[in-house]
Amino acid sequence: MLRDYGILGIFLLGGMAFGFVILITNWLVRPRKPSHEKETTYECGLDTQGPTWVQFKINYFLYALLFVLFDVETVFLYPWAVAFNSVGLFALVEMCIFIAILALGLWYAWKKGALEWE
C-alpha cells in the first residue's frame, strides 16, 4: 500500500517539476523588448475610452453560478442515464436525492429573490 502512495507522490512531483520547467523555459526564451505600444491596454483592437474599471452587478455572478450548477448536474445525469438499465434501484434513489438537493437549492435562490432581474 505504501508503494502505491510512493507512485502517486512521484507523479505529483513529476507534474510539479514539469510545470516549473515550462515556466522557466518560457522566462528564458521570451522576447525582452518592451515598448510603449506593448504596454498599453488592449481591448478588442481599440484603445480604451473612459474609465477601465467597471463594476458588474452581483446578479450576473449569481446567474453564472446557477448556470454552472445545472451544467454540472447535466454532467452527472448523462452517464447515469446511459447506464440506467444496469445500475439498479439504488442508483435511481441516489439520483433522486441528488436532484432533490439541487431543486432545494434552486427553490432557496428563488425565494431569496436571487433570480429577480432589476
Domain ranges of the chain: 2-111
Fold of 2-111: Methane Monooxygenase Hydroxylase; Chain G, domain 1 (1.20.58)
The pLDDT of residue 42 is 65
For the chain, how many residues are written? Answer: 118
Share of the chain above pLDDT 70, in %: 92
Q: The pTM is what?
A: 0.46
Alpha-carbon span 49 to 55, nearest angstrom? 16
Pairwise CA distance, residues 84 & 73, whole Å: 16
User: CA 39, 42, 45: angle at the middle one, nearest 5?
Assistant: 135
- DSSP symbol at 113: T
- Point out the least confidently predicted range of 5-9, 64-68, 103-107: 64-68
Q: Is the pLDDT of residue 112 over 80?
A: yes
Read off the pLDDT of each residue in 39-52 and give the average, rounded to a whole number.
68
Residues 6 or more apart whose Cβ sits within 8 Å of residue 117: 59
pLDDT category at 46 given cuts 50, 70, 90 is: low
Instruction: Judge whether 105 and 69 are in contact, CB under 8 Å.
Output: yes
